[in-house]
Structure 1
């Protein structure tokens, strides 16, 4: 079965990278993406001049995602991000770290504040809230660097506060997308369990995709992705 994390060498000068699942701190199986696994496979590509990142992810661990984004920023190759269906939470930060962002007109970005499960006394919980604000700043910097003068700090913080689901056109208007392509038939492939963590999920993402519209291989990918959600929820601490 095709991995949700995969690297494909197209030629000596070009390579495809696929992140089609959650971004986690610890690998449960071969379908997971961690910063360590990403770094290892990225290094194995050698001296390529073009990287095509295909992403369809609900997000996951914030620090793993920031590390992945920084790897792509520093890479000598020109990196084009293709949002095949959804880049949510920290996945949208990874996308914003790329040189170029391309979105089919039916794909989406989801941007929100970091969250975590926490317990403790009042002093400890206040510190946790302060820590989350500091963590959020790293994402703000990345979004603003991508958007240029199309997005203000005040506006991106509002977008994050409101857990905003951006269409390709909206992402383009905010400078978070460079080009819009015609619609594709890629399924969102995000488990219902993970959607429960979000408040403003668009209705079209909650509706099941008719089986007749999905090839058999793609249906298998959707099923496999859903099976990962239970393990991910225990790994989401500090996640976006």
Structure 2
């Protein structure tokens, strides 16, 4: 079985080397040759919606059977990528999040209305993907998007966003400041409106004082005691 590891932000281009891009995924698939089964491991807080839908389409078009594993988090457009799986497996402690697409915009009223119309069109395409996979109607999916819905593995299976809970594995997650650490991947947690609370990561322990410093302090104390006796 061939394996694709999609860890990190979803992007059209790679700027820092840790992004997941459609081109890289397409190149990786081509290098695998004639495979019949593909394992796709996802741990991502999302990213560029068009890059994500492109990756979803590439995986759906491939003739191989696709099994998706959510190795921590499939949030935002990363959840759309997960929908490309013939099977979608989530360990205990993993999460999936779906919400409406959003963007930054500037310009006059005409420009902003055009941006809003584009976002509505994008949302419609995402609803179709979710509906095709889950069997839920658009009327059932829209409230989930509006609420920025976070799903546990069991909830995702119940609603049709996943097919199986992997009981043998459990995902570790914690937060420090505005950043969550989920199975080794950093995710900016403050950007989400309805993110669940995570355990607070322990602060780094204070370094121990060097043993020589302790010895010197003890010698100074003994000298003072001796001086006081003279």
Question: Same fold by TM-score, threshold 0.5 exceeded?
Answer: yes
1:30: how far off?
Answer: 2.7
Q: 1:31 to 1:145 in 2, by over 3 A?
A: same
Q: Are residue 199 (structure 1) and residue 186 (structure 2) matched?
A: no
Unaligned runs of 5+ in 1: 1-13, 213-240
Runs of at least 4 residues of structure 1 off by over 6 A?
Answer: 209-212
Partner Cα separation in structure 2 for residue 130 and residue 207 of structure 1: 40
What corresponds to 1:98 in structure 2? 85
Q: What TM-score, normalized to structure 1?
A: 0.77
Q: Are residue 22 (structure 1) and residue 22 (structure 2) matched?
A: no
1:209: how far off?
Answer: 7.1
What corresponds to 2:144 in structure 1? 159
Give the aligned CA root-mean-square deviation in angstroms: 1.9
Partner Cα separation in structure 1 for residue 28 and residue 42 of structure 2: 16
**Which one has the largest radius of gyration?**
2
1:31: how far off?
Answer: 1.8
Matches within 5 A, 1:119-198: 119-148=106-135, 151-182=136-167, 183-187=169-173, 188=182, 189=184, 191=186, 194-198=188-192
Partner Cα separation in structure 2 for residue 152 and residue 167 of structure 1: 21
1:97: how far off?
Answer: 1.6
Higher strand share: 2
Partner Cα separation in structure 1 for residue 203 and residue 172 of structure 2: 12
1:174: how far off?
Answer: 0.9
Q: 1:92-138 deviations in whole A, cap 9, x for unaligned?
A: 00001211100112111000010101001112111111110101111
1:210: how far off?
Answer: 8.3
CA contact (8 A) 2:2 2:32 kept: yes
1:72: how far off?
Answer: 0.6
Unaligned runs of 5+ in 2: 174-181, 206-230
1:155: how far off?
Answer: 1.4
1:78: how far off?
Answer: 0.3
Partner Cα separation in structure 2 for residue 126 and residue 34 of structure 1: 29
Partner Cα separation in structure 2 for residue 62 and residue 113 of structure 1: 11
